[in-house]
Amino acid sequence: MELISENKVFGGVHKRFKHQSSTNNCEMTFAIFLPKSVNNDTKLPVLYWLSGLTCTDENFMQKAGVFKYASERGLVIVAPDTSPRGEDVADDENGSYDFGLGAGFYLNATQSPYSTHYNMYDYVTNELPKLIESNFLVSTKKSISGHSMGGHGALTIGLRNSLQYESISAFAPISNPTNCPWGIKAFSGYLGDDEASWAQYDATALLRQNTISRQIPIKIDQGADDAFLVDQLKPEALQNAAKNIGYNIEFQLHDGYDHSYFFISSFIEQHIEFHAKHLR
Amino acid sequence: MELISENKVFGGVHKRFKHQSSTNNCEMTFAIFLPKSVNNDTKLPVLYWLSGLTCTDENFMQKAGVFKYASERGLVIVAPDTSPRGEDVADDENGSYDFGLGAGFYLNATQSPYSTHYNMYDYVTNELPKLIESNFLVSTKKSISGHSMGGHGALTIGLRNSLQYESISAFAPISNPTNCPWGIKAFSGYLGDDEASWAQYDATALLRQNTISRQIPIKIDQGADDAFLVDQLKPEALQNAAKNIGYNIEFQLHDGYDHSYFFISSFIEQHIEFHAKHLR
């Protein structure tokens, strides 16, 4: 790991690192916030944050206003990049924002040329936590959260690994990607035409299959004025699937809020409280 | 005024506008945060925020985490751009970051070709407050704050207009620009070689002249690990000038903090409290 930058914030420290990822076969960047520990012998739990389309590790750390709350609750925050990066990494040939670089969709690609580097599912669930737990004074207790494409990532990763994470939260997640333009484009490109392979990366489909190990607590916030709500996000599909199997999801629709970090920053305190409760 | 964008945040609203500025002879952009009023008949006071080199109206609004505190205290926040903009506006011929576009230094330029557009002092002290007060439900009570070049702006504007503003605060201000590389470059270019004309835009020089109408309350925070502290910011010059005339400045040096918004966000709550106290 190589330190890129370091900033003191709310008494703790925000650091960016790069490292060679064996999962993604390229150099990956991540950011970590380490709150000022009351007791240096206490291993703090970790909240993993997954960002949305076009983002890097920086958006959440700069715009969410999370540090005050993470400091108060003693949570470490880790934010990975949203895709593999580098000159060797295949991008969308049209350079679109919703496929390729910045749009890894937190899955393991099976299609050439993406399968060489696009293994964000394994990176987030396996390589990154091991790296964090072996290099920082953190506990193995962890939760996961994210926004939009990252909300999709948090839901699918958390549901498929419900014994490894304590809780899931999401802002405006892509809740049923096999049934929306962003998801169909991404899954076609990364996973190919066999739609049966798509379901493992669709939170709504996972709930419909009803094979989740345990009802890991889920909190979702959604802006009612989000421009992507109807065509791309489809929270009602997820809610219906949850209802049908008796899975209680804490869902709130907020009048007037959009898809931006202005929305996220308005409710991030409640997400930190939610995760802190389940991480204790 | 033309609305550029609008986002709900912490129950209030963040809006960006552009308008034709008669002071700067170009189109100017500003952002405003209007908290959710408890009572729509109450005219809320305004805090003007001036950003630093290379910034626009967006940096503070996206990165400072101010909305929670401004909402709680009932403060309107207005953030102008840091310079005139547009194809007609003369930029530094070398395209440097510390002169020309994005580096207006909150002064009225006297030198060609800058004097046509670079009148940020008049814009911030006169045109912008009139525009805000005639278009929004705000009181005429106002305070001023800023960061780095914007901290210099807040100090000089507040000191020279101490009867119009209730309080001044600054993060890592350029405190003695006539005596640092950033300031000397800017003042030479905008104001010419007559250094006597520079003092009106130098907070330390203004205190040395001791002609301030009243001791308007001043709060300054500075990171001890700020890379610009010694060569560019020179807070000790301002403190010495204040001490010599018996002017009490609330100054705090913070171990480990740098020049970034990570620093600003860590202490913005205290600045909002400071201004709210003086605006009541």
Q: How confident is the model at residue A53 (pLDDT cuts 50, 70, 90)?
A: very high
Strand order, beta sheet including B165-171: B2-9, B12-21, B26-34, B76-80, B44-50, B138-147, B165-171, B218-223, B249-254
Could B265 and A67 be called an inter-chain contact, meaning their C-beta atoms sit closer than 8 Å?
Answer: yes
User: Predicted ipTM?
Assistant: 0.94
pLDDT, mean of residues B138-151:
98
- pLDDT of A123 over the 80 cut: yes
Q: CB distance from B19 to chain A under 8 Å?
A: no
Q: Which residues of B touch A266 (CB under 8 A)?
A: 8-11, 67
Q: Do A62 and B63 touch (CB under 8 A)?
A: yes
Q: Share the mean pLDDT of chain B.
A: 97
Mean pLDDT to the nearest integer, A56-68: 98
CA distance B145 to B151: 6
pLDDT attached to residue B39? 62
User: Is residue A38 over pLDDT 70?
Assistant: no
Residue B10 has its nearest CB partner, among A11, A14, A266, at: A266
pLDDT in tens, B156-169: 999 999 999 999 99
Q: What is the DSSP string of A19-33?
A: EEETTTTEEEEEEEE
pLDDT of residue A39: 62
Give the pLDDT score at A42.
84
pLDDT digits (tens, 9 = 90+) for B22-57: 999 999 999 999 999 756 678 999 999 999 999 999
Closest by CA position to B65, among listed A276, A269, A227: A269
Cβ-Cβ contacts under 8 Å, A7 against chain B: 258, 260, 262-263
Give the C-alpha separation, B32 to A100, whole Å: 36
Q: How far apart (Å, rounded) are the C-alpha atoms in residues B81 and B124?
A: 10
* DSSP sequence for A101-140: TTB-TTSB--STTGGGT-BHHHIIIIIHHHHHHHHSSEEE
pLDDT at A242 over 90: yes
Q: Widest CA span of chain A, in angstroms?
A: 52
Per residue in B69-78, pLDDT (tens digit) is 999 999 999 9
pLDDT at position B38 is: 57
* SS3 (DSSP) at B142: strand
Question: How far is B85 from chain A, CA to nearest CA, in Å?
Answer: 25
User: Residue A50: what pLDDT?
Assistant: 98
User: For residue B84, what pLDDT is reported?
Assistant: 97
| Beta-bridge partner residues of A21 | A26
* pLDDT > 70 in chain A, percent: 99
- Residue B93's pLDDT is 87
Average pLDDT for A30-48: 88
Check whether A40 has a pLDDT greater than 80. Answer: no
Weakest-pLDDT range from A84-98, A222-236, A263-277: A84-98
The secondary structure element, H or E, covering residue B46 is strand B44-50
| Overall pTM surpassing 0.90 (yes/no) | yes
| Arithmetic mean of pLDDT, B128-148 | 97
Confirm if A276 and A75 have CB atoms less than 8 A apart: yes
CB A64 within 8 A of CB A70: no
Domains located in chain A, CATH noted: 2-279 (3.40.50.1820)
Q: Does B265 touch chain A (CB under 8 A)?
A: yes
